[in-house]
Structures are given as C-alpha cells and as structure tokens.
Amino acid sequence: MTKDPAVLFYTSDFLTGTQFFSNEQCGQYIRLLCQQHQLGHIPNEHMLDICKTYDNPVWKKFKKDTNGGWFNERMEEEKERRIKYCESRRSNKMQDFSNKHMSEHMSTHMSQHMETETETENINDNIIKERKPKFDFDLIWKQYPKRVKRKMAEKHFNSSVKTKEDFDDLQKALANYLSSKRVMNGFVQDGATWFNNWRDWIDYKETACPKCKDKGFFTSSTGYKITCECPAGKNLK
C-alpha cells in the first residue's frame, strides 16, 4: 500500500506555536514534520543535520522514543487518526461493493485517496468528538495570569491532555512558568500561546544570576555590598 500523501495541517496552531521562531527555524520544523509523516521517527543525526545545533528551539517540539528516534506528538496523533479514518472508509467501500442492492453511484463514490470537502468535514467532526475534555480545564485556566484567547487555549488543552500524567505534567509546567523570572518581570504569554507550548516548561530550570547567584547583592572588589540589577536585587529595593 502506498504512503498517504496528506495529513490535516492546522495553520492557526502552527502560527501560534512558532511565533517566536525565525523563518529558518520554521522551515526546519516543517521539513522535520514532513519527514516524520513520510518516513517515521527521525534519527538523531538527521535531526542534527537539519537543526544544526542541539540548542535550536525546534528540538523542543519533538520527543525521543525508546529507540533513539525523534517524533512530534501532534503529528503522530494526526497521522494515526488519518490512518484509522481511511481504513474505516475503505472498509465501508468494500461493504458497499458486496451489497448487490447498492447503486453504482454509491459503490464508486469513494476512491482510494479521498481529498474532498466532505472528508475534511467528517474528519473534523470526529476530531471534535474525540477531543471532549476529560480533565478540568477551568481549574488550570483560573490559575493562569493572562486569560486571553480562552477558546484556542482550551482547544490546545484538550488536544494535549489525554491522561492523568499529562494533567500532572501540565500543573508542574504551570508552576514552573509562574515562578519564572520572565513572568515575575511582567512578560506573560496569552493563554492560547502558552497552552500550545506548555510542555516546554515541564523540566524548566532558571539560570542563576552570574553576579549575585540570585541573592540580590554581591560584594565588590573593594569590599562594598552592591545591590544587583537582576530581579532578585530589585526585590530588595
């Protein structure tokens, strides 16, 4: 059986999730998504060949499997959903073909590769049904400081939180984010943006100020106690 040449691509989600990427990083991300869809999980050396460096933020969009390959969870879900949908349509086609009372129009209506508006509408209907919230979004939403674009934020929540482990990870990520220096300095992403990238904050660790090591002050070479200009120092003023 030939490889499926298509997968649903949510342009709004992509723009939200890559708004801080450079044009080059967006291109790298798209190439990796396409390769995963067509070839499966991506070898480490292939990831490095495209991303060039390990600190490239594109890496954070992928997870490592037990065999050392890299994959994007959303692409994995959409690819699997597409496969199941096509198999269901193919099965229906075979049933229709075997039914002697089915008209010729109905028996030839479905082709092996369907790319119609009806298919897209049906897939979207199935996706909406499959993504009914299983966990309390309101509980998390009330804790978020910048409650903007709730509808899109809840959509990201429903697509990424499937298990209790996911929900626990989300709460950990939110706690890390709220205690981060960027939030304490007043830089807070809108709800839709953060909920689309919340996994980046699960294992997030702040880098200590090189001058004062987050104490808020340091001693000069002449022995004077100087208040640092970092957030810890500003809190002492």
In a domain, 228, yes or no: no
Judge whether 234 lies within some domain.
no
φ/ψ of 128, rounded to 5, equals -60, -40
Is the domain of 18 the same as that of 126? yes
On whether residue 215 sits in a domain, the answer given is: no
What lies within 8 Å, CB to CB, of 183 at 6+ separation is 145, 177
DSSP state of 60: G
Domain end residue (candidates: 113, 130, 147): 130
Instruction: Decide if 187 is inside a domain.
Output: yes
Does residue 233 lie within any of the structural domains?
no
Residue 229 lies in a domain: no
Look at residue 90 in the predicted model and tell me its pLDDT.
78
Residue 57 counted as domain residue: yes
Q: Please, are residues 123 and 8 in contact by the beta-carbon 8 Å criterion?
A: yes
Residues 22 and 121 in one domain: yes
What is the tens place of the pLDDT at every residue in 170-207? 899 998 888 888 888 888 888 889 999 889 888 887 77
In this structure, the answer to whether residues 147 and 116 fall within a common structural domain is no
Number of domains the chain is built from: 2
29 and 51 in a single domain? The answer is yes
- Give mean pLDDT in consecutive 10-residue pieces for the chain, a chain of 237 residues: 77 87 93 92 94 91 94 92 83 68 54 53 57 71 89 91 89 88 84 90 79 76 80 66
Q: Is 3 in the same domain as 71?
A: yes
Across 65-127, the runs of DSSP E, i.e. the strands, are 70-71
pLDDT value of residue 133:
46
Residues 144 and 42 in one domain: no
126 in the same domain as 34:
yes
96 and 151, same domain (yes or no): no
SS (H, E, C) 23-45: HHHHHHHHHHHHHHHHHCCECHH
Picking from 130, 153, 184, the residue at the C-terminal end of a domain is 130
Domain that holds residue 107: 1-130
For residue 211, being part of any structural domain is answered with: no
Domain-ending residue, one of 78, 109, 130: 130
3-state DSSP assignment of residue 6: coil
